[in-house]
Amino acid sequence: MKAKIMQAMHARKAQQDEIFGENHVFRVATWNLRISMVRLFPEQTWACEDLRKWLTELQKDGLVMKDEEYSRIGQAVWKLVDK
């Protein structure tokens, strides 16, 4: 599950880099990530609640981080961690 989420985030980042260049920070809201997951993996059911749990695990692994500045109650915004 984590690999699929990272695959979707990297695909969205590549799309953003192609359009805007690599100078922009990649951010994605949980809902928008869910839409990407449905498009990439239609055979599975994707819920924001489940994605938040997996994204929290990815945050503990140091792969993503919650963007406190852009997040609001009911909608978390996530950033990829550059390594």
Nearest to 14 by CA among 3, 22, 6: 22
Average pLDDT over residues 67-73: 92
Range of 53's domain? 2-80
Domain total in the chain: 1
pTM of the predicted structure, to 2 decimals:
0.88
The CATH number covering residue 55 comes to: 1.10.10
75: nearest Cα among 29, 15, 11: 29
Q: How confident is the model over 4-42, as pLDDT tens digits?
A: 999 999 999 999 999 998 888 899 999 999 999 999 999
User: What does the alpha-carbon distance between residue 53 and residue 16 come to, in Å, rounded to a whole number?
Assistant: 25
* CB 58 within 8 Å of CB 5: yes
What is the Cα–Cα distance from 24 to 49, expressed in whole angstroms?
27
Instruction: Tell me what pLDDT residue 83 has.
Output: 59
